[in-house]
Amino acid sequence: MNGIHDMGGMQDMGPLEYEKNEPVFHAPWEKRTFAIWWATDAAPGYRYQAEILPPVEYLGLSYYARMLVAMTELLVAGGMITRAELETGQPMPGTRKGELLTLAQVPAELIKSEPSLRNLPIAPRFRTGQRVRARNLNPVTHTRLPRYARGKIGTIERDHGVYDFEDAEQQLDKKPQHVYSVRFAARELWGQEANQHDCVYVDMWDDYLERA
C-alpha cells in the first residue's frame, strides 16, 4: 500500500541520527514486546497493520512501539486477547491462549526456520542484462515495490534465484518467483540534477517488472 512508511526518495525528513554502540533494546519493554511478537507468531499481517497507522502516529512511534500497536490489533482480531483484558490486565475465558509458545518450546523455535531461497524449477521471466520497467502498481495491501522506482527503466544486473513473494505473505499461495537485482541510473530516478555516474540497485520480484 502507499503510505508514510515508504520514505525512499522523500525529501526533508531530517537527518539520520547515528547512535554509537546502540543496544539491541533500549528498554525492558522493547525486549518483552519482541518476545511476545515471536511467541504469538504475529508476523503474518504485521507489516500491513503497521503501515495503515495514521502518518502522524506512525512517525511518532519508535520501531518497537509500532510493533506493539500493530501486534495488539492482530491479537485482538485473532481472538487471542480481548479489549477487556488489555484494559484490566486480567485474563478472560474463551480466548486462544493455549496456542501461546511455552518456555520449553523456545529453544527449538529459535533455531527453526524455513529457507529463504526456494529450490523450485521456476523459469525466470527476465535475463541478466535485459532492460526492464518497474510496473506502476498501487496495491492496497503490503508491497515492497518502492514508489520512487515505479514506472522507471532499469537493467537486470543479477538473478538471485527463486524466493517467496513477500507481497503474498498472508496468502496460502506464496507465489514463489525469481528475484533480480535491478540497476537504475540515478538520473532515471531523480532527474538531471542527480550525478550521472550514480546508480541505485533494487531487488525486485518478477511480478514487479515488465519488458521495457
Q: Does residue 85 surpass a pLDDT of 70?
A: yes
Look at residue 15 and tell me if it is in a domain.
no
The single-letter DSSP state of residue 170 is T
**Nearest-angstrom CA–CA distance, 136 and 153:** 11
Q: Does residue 170 surpass a pLDDT of 60?
A: no
Amino acid at 147: R
Number of structural domains found in the chain = 2
Which of 65, 87, 111 is the C-terminal boundary of a domain? 111
| For range 149-176, the mean pLDDT | 87
Say if strands 199-205 and 153-163 run parallel, antiparallel, or are unpaired: unpaired
Q: How confident is the model at residue 150 (pLDDT cuts 50, 70, 90)?
A: very high
Q: Which residue is listed with cell 527476465?
A: 126
Q: Write phi, then psi, for 179 (nearest 5 degrees).
A: -115, 135
In contact, 40 and 97? CB cutoff 8 Å: no
Which pLDDT score, from 0 to 100, does residue 45 have?
76
Query: Are residues 91 and 130 part of one domain?
Result: no
Look at residue 8 and tell me if it is in a domain.
no
Query: Are residues 152 and 102 part of one domain?
Result: no
CA angle centred on 40, ends 204 and 1, rounded to 5°: 35
Which pLDDT score, from 0 to 100, does residue 41 have?
66
Upper half-sphere CA count for residue 107 (Cβ side, 13 Å): 1
**Nearest-angstrom CA–CA distance, 184 and 155:** 7
| For range 109-130, the mean pLDDT | 87
Which pLDDT score, from 0 to 100, does residue 109 have?
74
**Nearest-angstrom CA–CA distance, 42 and 99:** 12
Which pLDDT score, from 0 to 100, does residue 44 have?
64
Which pLDDT score, from 0 to 100, does residue 48 have?
82
Angle between helices 63-77 and 28-39 (to 10 degrees): 40
Look at residue 89 and tell me if it is in a domain.
yes
Following DSSP, what letter does each residue of 31-85 receive, concatenated?
Answer: HHHHHHHHHTT--TTHHHHHHTS-HHHHHHS-HHHHHHHHHHHHHHHTTSS-HHH
What nine digits make up the cell of 68? 506493539
Which pLDDT score, from 0 to 100, does residue 186 have?
96
In contact, 185 and 169? CB cutoff 8 Å: no
Q: Does residue 148 surpass a pLDDT of 90?
A: yes
Query: Are residues 140 and 94 part of one domain?
Result: no
Among 33-37, 133-137, 166-170, name the most confident range. 133-137
Question: Across the chain, what does the average pLDDT equal?
Answer: 87
Q: Does residue 135 surpass a pLDDT of 60?
A: yes
Which of 57, 77, 111 is the C-terminal boundary of a domain? 111
Residue, of 173 and 199, whose pLDDT is higher: 199
Which of 111, 140, 164 is the C-terminal boundary of a domain? 111
Q: Does residue 66 surpass a pLDDT of 60?
A: yes
The domain containing residue 52 runs over which residues?
A: 28-111
Query: Are residues 154 and 128 part of one domain?
Result: yes
Look at residue 166 and tell me if it is in a domain.
yes
Which pLDDT score, from 0 to 100, does residue 122 have?
96
Query: Are residues 76 and 53 part of one domain?
Result: yes
Which of these ranges, 74-83, 99-108, 124-133, has the smallest mean pLDDT?
99-108
Among 13-17, 119-123, 168-172, name the most confident range. 119-123
In contact, 85 and 91? CB cutoff 8 Å: yes
Q: Does residue 172 surpass a pLDDT of 60?
A: no
| pLDDT tens profile 32-64 | 998 888 777 665 677 888 888 888 998 899 999
Query: Are residues 205 and 125 part of one domain?
Result: yes
Look at residue 171 and tell me if it is in a domain.
yes
Q: What CATH number should be reported for the domain holding residue 125? A: 2.30.30.50
Q: What is the pTM of this model?
A: 0.79
